[in-house]
Amino acid sequence: MDPLNESELSADALDLVARAAPGYLDALPDRPVSDPASWHRLADLGGPLPEDGEGTLATVGRLIDVGTSTSHTQSVCSGASSRAARPMLFP
């Protein structure tokens, strides 16, 4: 599915993100900085991109599902990870 052909679903996709955000943000203070037990979920996003997409809402839903379960950024160089509710700043 071409997202350009699903532009009418943009507001619905943003609504999915807006509904997921409060729970994610509320849980940040109680979650560990790094949770290796959830890293296996990142493999759900791996592999080549499909020839035909899954559609706007399915893709956003998948990103929310995997992203909120892992909730960390992983450094490509070090393998270190941390949860962040705001952008990472590097000198």
pLDDT digits (tens, 9 = 90+) for 46-63: 878 778 888 899 989 988
Dist CA 30 CA 83 (whole Å): 11
pLDDT above 80 (res 2): no
Report DSSP letters for 30-77, one per residue: GS-S--GGGGGGGGGG-SPPPSS---HHHHHHHHHHHHHHH--EE-TT
Question: Is the alpha carbon torsion for 82, 59, 25, 35 positive or negative?
Answer: negative
Dist CA 63 CA 5 (whole Å): 20
Q: How confident is the model at residue 71, as a pLDDT?
A: 62
Beta bridge partners of 81: 74
Question: What would the pLDDT profile of 22-44 be if each residue is shown by its tens digit?
Answer: 988 888 888 777 778 788 888 88
pTM of the model: 0.64
Dist CA 33 CA 30 (whole Å): 9
Please give the single-letter amino acid code of residue 47.
G
